[in-house]
């Protein structure tokens, strides 16, 4: 996720995808509290790219919701 934040940057769907994977790993490892902050940050960052990538944004929101339960 850190590498994705550097390039292509926080405002890109690929970075959101990396964050979803991190959120899933935290939940799977039994640390749902740690998953909340990256999910919140990625949701904020998604506002920048959502208008240009509406389908990716829908998928991102569904993935985050599913990961957090």
9-41 residue pLDDT tens: 777 888 888 899 999 999 999 999 999 999 999
Residue ranges making up the domain that contains 32: 2-68
Q: For position 1, what pLDDT does the model report?
A: 66
| Number of domain units in the chain | 1
55-67 residue pLDDT tens: 999 999 999 999 9
Question: Read out DSSP for 1-67?
Answer: -HHHIIIIITTSHHHHHHHHHHHHHHHHTT-HHHHHHHHHHHHHHHHHHTTT-HHHHHHHHHHHHHH
Q: Is 5 exposed, middle or buried (0-12, 13-18, 19+ CB in 10 A)?
A: middle
**Residue that has been written with the tokens 């509290």 in this structure:** 33
Give the global pTM: 0.81
């Amino acid at each position: 996720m850190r590498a994705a934040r550097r390039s292509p940057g926080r405002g890109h769907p690929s970075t959101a995808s990396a964050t979803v994977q991190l959120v899933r790993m935290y939940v799977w490892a039994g640390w749902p509290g740690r998953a909340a902050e990256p999910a919140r940050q990625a949701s904020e960052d998604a506002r920048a790219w959502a208008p240009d990538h509406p389908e990716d944004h829908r998928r991102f929101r569904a993935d985050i919701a599913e990961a957090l339960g």
